[in-house]
Structure 1
Amino acid sequence: MTTYKQLPRYRYFVLASLWLTIIFLYLDRANISMAAPFIKEELNLSATETGLILSIFYWGYMVGQIAGGVVSDRYNIRRWTLVLYFSWVITTMLTGLCRTAGQLAFIRVLFGIGEGAVINPVTKLQNHWAFPQERGFVNGIYVSSGYLGLAAGIPLVGMLISVFDWRMMFYVTGAVTLLGVIVFWLFVYDHPGDHPRISEEEKNALQDALVKDRVNYDPTQANQAPLSFFQGVKILFSDWTFWVICTSIFFILGVYFTCFAWIPGFLVMERGMSSLNSGLSLTLPYLAAAVGAIVAGYLGDKLNSRSAVIILATLLTIPPILGLFFVESPQLTITMLCLTFFFNAAAVSKFLVLTFDLYPAEIIGVALAVEMGLFAGSGGIIGPILIGYTYDLTGSFFTGFASMAAGMMIAAIMMAAIYFHERKLKIQKMLKLAQA
């Protein structure tokens, strides 16, 4: 019998195109964090106002995620994504034209809608193009792609700001994103059955594997009818585990998004680095995050437990977050950031795969919309504002970062309940497959 490892691998061209999308998504999202100290100075903003500008992206992101999640469950993902992907090019370049805080806030909301409306459809596309046995590792690369883009792109952003200014940086990064749009158009289709260039052998194997991996798969029914959209929503929203996961995501991805927004500013404002040096200094933490996501993907597949990896990684994120304020040297500061990013990325990368494992395929888009849009987006809104507000009050980032560490502890405790639920569900799935 042919295993998935022995099949042709055209699917990796599609997956690589999705990973490139994530590289540009994170670069275009995080470039403002490098520009923030200079925008703050030029527009005469307080730290609280700067935090509001950094967080306002997530208001649009939240709306976009919900819309994108619903659309990905009901309509053609490829067409939807191409249009919105191109909108990043426009809104990123328009950011460089902003002359007031109001203009900047308006453009960042539009940009947030465009990015938010793409991330869930792209995540769902990846699930269409990966075998269940490789899902954790593939998703680890997917999450790590954003960090790899940041590791390579943030120093470039810092250089563009140093050589030109923050406005020119937005023009250049917006224009470069057009490359990703073209690659997506060439290689990505909604399903293996839609793709004109995939082999019949690989297409049929993918489609059969994904049917059998469904949470509600019944081996006694030859042609099982899919759930309707509203049936799926009812099942999802009545499941207590979904809301526990959502609350944990609020805390864990709140750290994830807040680090994107404020760590470059932390290095400039608290450690006195230049924009170029802070960009170069962040290369190692972003690379560490990329490795963390891949390692977590491998461990999740090996242990067959996504929640166990989330709990361990979440607990291990807490010491280095607090350790940032007990070290002074640049080398130790970067070491603490590397550890923080490594473990946080490991935890974040497992939530997507856990969602695929626990809930019906017909409603994955809505599940991700609520998890990553509403709850993670709320963390992305509150976190940067909290950091800016406490910095204005105390002149230090410590209080805000300590609050994030406390949230991580709460999330780890909550995820313990999910560990036992996941274990029970996977035993039930194994018994069903044994009957097939």
Structure 2
Amino acid sequence: MSLPIKVRHLTLFSLCLMAFILYIDRVNISVAGPFMRKEMGLSPTQLGVIFSAFAYSYAFMQIPGGWLADKFGPRLSLALLSALWSVATVMTGVATGVSALMVWRFLVGVGEGGAFAAATRAFLHWMPISRRGFAQGLTHGASRLGGAVTPPIVVWIVIASGWRQSFIVLGVASLAWTIGWLLFFRDSPADHRWMTREELLELGFDSTRPAERARRIPWKEMISRMWLVTLVDFCYGWSLWVFLTWLPSYLSEARGFKLNQMAIMTMLPLMAGVIGDASGGIVSDAIYRKTGNLRVARCALLLVGLIGSVIFILPAVITVSPTTAVVYLALSFFCLELTNAVLWSLPIDIAGRFAGTAAGMMNTGFGVAGMISPVAFGFLLQHTGSYQLPFFLSAGLLVVGALVSLLIDPMKKLGEPAAAPISAVGNLSFVK
């Protein structure tokens, strides 16, 4: 069967749709939370415990989820994971107590925890190396877009049918994606009935070779190669979780925006992040095509994005103008998200057929940051009475992440020795 569009582009669209739906299912409870509290008589502490149930399972599922993708392939593993979080989302809508809500949100975290690692494993065969940054950027841009549009979608469903129906409707939509994924996707491009010989050659794929499955994972070497990437992802994730959890409160309490204004102002940095996600992947791939050097293409953008985020976050919390602060926050979040596609490309660059496990290992840093960052931010705010110190801490960690990124070497696969640290000046001299 010959299609007017490449099968790999349909695969990319499918994974973007997955990321979009995943983020809606992730943050829908934040919007439905006030309605749940009112109906079920939940205290703020109880609601907070329900929220945290997701974060812990999400963090701890990263490596197992990646291992599943390496062992059984992204088709089956991603279908199982998405089915789990979809059913758990539906069941959240019928839960009648705190314990049940905690269990179902915990299971949503289990399902979503391995999803991006499995998607990363899918890109190993379905995206050429010169387009992986773009693919990761577009996928994670779709996830941020999902988070940005969740409030109006959930509020509309809640007003029309109630908060319980919002979980049921969104969970069923996720199940529909799961079925479509199983019907459409194949682990090996050569096994897809719509693939042409020309597209297989474009992917550099040997049509006589079955899709690789990782058998024995070299854990010691993988840890030695991936711990720096995990640390950078932790530093990145710390600031991202600050934006996702504390931005509305900051704009309302520190900047004095009213409720309707705050909703709009919160969306602006998030939409800037969508653009940053897509742009980061495009720029990284362009640098690689120009230089043929993966280390420059990945590490240079990590350095620029993380330092750029610091440069804009500092005036954002110092300026006296609320509107100017939002502009700086949007620029800071744009720069921060420039690095996201690069981070998710590194596990493929470094680990090859073990990309799923490596991606899970990396994103464990993000998950741990999600457990610590919001709490630490609140602790500093409570004990200082100021938002500045928590933001300064985030900026400091971004500087640490930028420095560590200079030590990462994606040019060498597992089983090969790493090169010397990149020079922040000499090896980036092509940038004029």
* CA distance in structure 1 between the partners assigned to 2:410 and 2:174 by the alignment: 42
Residue 361 of structure 2 corresponds to which residue in structure 1? 370
Once the two structures are TM-superposed, the CA of residue 329 in structure 1 deviates from its matched residue by: 5.4
User: Where do 1:230-379 residues align within 5 Å?
Assistant: 230=216, 232-239=218-225, 242-268=226-252, 270=254, 278-304=262-288, 305-327=297-319, 331-359=323-351, 361-372=352-363, 374-379=364-369
Structure 1 contact 52–384 (Cα < 8 Å) conserved = no
* CA distance in structure 2 between the partners assigned to 1:96 and 1:387 by the alignment: 31
Superposed CA RMSD: 3.4
* CA distance in structure 1 between the partners assigned to 2:42 and 2:241 by the alignment: 23
Quick one: which of 110, 113, 117 aligns to 1:113?
A: 110
Once the two structures are TM-superposed, the CA of residue 178 in structure 1 deviates from its matched residue by: 3.5
Residue 427 of structure 2 corresponds to which residue in structure 1? none
Mean Cα displacement is larger for which, 192-201 or 272-281?
272-281
Mean Cα displacement is larger for which, 24-33 or 388-397?
388-397
Structure 1 contact 137–298 (Cα < 8 Å) conserved = yes
* CA distance in structure 2 between the partners assigned to 1:415 and 1:139 by the alignment: 18
* CA distance in structure 1 between the partners assigned to 2:395 and 2:51 by the alignment: 20
Structure 1 contact 8–199 (Cα < 8 Å) conserved = no
Structure 2 contact 130–285 (Cα < 8 Å) conserved = yes
Structure 2 contact 37–47 (Cα < 8 Å) conserved = yes
Sort the Cα spacing of 1:420 and 1:96 in 2 relative to 1 into closer, same or farther, 3 A.
closer
Listed one character per residue, the Cα deviations across residues 286-334 of structure 1 (whole Å, up to 9, x for unaligned) are 2211211122112212222111101110011124334443356553343
Residue 200 of structure 1 corresponds to which residue in structure 2? 197
Sort the Cα spacing of 1:155 and 1:276 in 2 relative to 1 into closer, same or farther, 3 A.
farther
Sort the Cα spacing of 1:171 and 1:228 in 2 relative to 1 into closer, same or farther, 3 A.
closer
Structure 1 contact 17–187 (Cα < 8 Å) conserved = no
Structure 1 contact 55–384 (Cα < 8 Å) conserved = no
The answer to whether 1:16 aligns with 2:13 is yes
Once the two structures are TM-superposed, the CA of residue 392 in structure 1 deviates from its matched residue by: 4.1
* CA distance in structure 1 between the partners assigned to 2:102 and 2:389 by the alignment: 26
Q: Among the aligned pairs, what percent are the same residue?
A: 27
Structure 1 contact 132–210 (Cα < 8 Å) conserved = no
Structure 2 contact 8–127 (Cα < 8 Å) conserved = yes
Residue 219 of structure 1 corresponds to which residue in structure 2? none
Residue 58 of structure 2 corresponds to which residue in structure 1? 61
Structure 1 contact 193–203 (Cα < 8 Å) conserved = yes
Once the two structures are TM-superposed, the CA of residue 39 in structure 1 deviates from its matched residue by: 5.8
Structure 1 contact 33–261 (Cα < 8 Å) conserved = no
Structure-1-length-normalised TM-score: 0.80
Unaligned regions of 5+ residues in structure 2, if any?
A: 289-296, 413-417, 423-432
SS in 2 for 1:30: helix
Sort the Cα spacing of 1:300 and 1:57 in 2 relative to 1 into closer, same or farther, 3 A.
same
Listed one character per residue, the Cα deviations across residues 163-195 of structure 1 (whole Å, up to 9, x for unaligned) are 776544434433333443343234222120221
Residue 218 of structure 1 corresponds to which residue in structure 2? none
Residue 425 of structure 2 corresponds to which residue in structure 1? none
Structure 2 contact 75–187 (Cα < 8 Å) conserved = yes
Once the two structures are TM-superposed, the CA of residue 113 in structure 1 deviates from its matched residue by: 0.4
Q: Which has the higher contact order (CA 8 A, sep 6+)?
A: 1
Residue 426 of structure 2 corresponds to which residue in structure 1? none
* CA distance in structure 2 between the partners assigned to 1:353 and 1:412 by the alignment: 17
* CA distance in structure 2 between the partners assigned to 1:102 and 1:127 by the alignment: 40
Sort the Cα spacing of 1:157 and 1:420 in 2 relative to 1 into closer, same or farther, 3 A.
closer
* CA distance in structure 2 between the partners assigned to 1:286 and 1:64 by the alignment: 26
Structure 1 contact 151–284 (Cα < 8 Å) conserved = no
Structure 1 contact 285–339 (Cα < 8 Å) conserved = yes
Residue 385 of structure 1 corresponds to which residue in structure 2? 375
User: Where do 1:26-45 residues align within 5 Å?
Assistant: 26-36=23-33, 43-45=42-44
Listed one character per residue, the Cα deviations across residues 132-191 of structure 1 (whole Å, up to 9, x for unaligned) are 122222222112111222333333234555677654443443333344334323422212
Mean Cα displacement is larger for which, 333-342 or 228-237?
228-237
User: Where do 1:83-232 residues align within 5 Å?
Assistant: 83-98=80-95, 101-160=98-157, 166-208=163-205, 229-230=215-216, 232=218
* CA distance in structure 1 between the partners assigned to 2:248 and 2:62 by the alignment: 26
Listed one character per residue, the Cα deviations across residues 40-93 of structure 1 (whole Å, up to 9, x for unaligned) are 7752225xx766544432211123222111111111321222232122222223
Structure 1 contact 33–264 (Cα < 8 Å) conserved = no
Structure 1 contact 324–336 (Cα < 8 Å) conserved = yes
Mean Cα displacement is larger for which, 133-142 or 395-404?
395-404
Structure-2-length-normalised TM-score: 0.81
Structure 2 contact 92–167 (Cα < 8 Å) conserved = yes
Sort the Cα spacing of 1:61 and 1:231 in 2 relative to 1 into closer, same or farther, 3 A.
closer
Structure 2 contact 87–175 (Cα < 8 Å) conserved = no
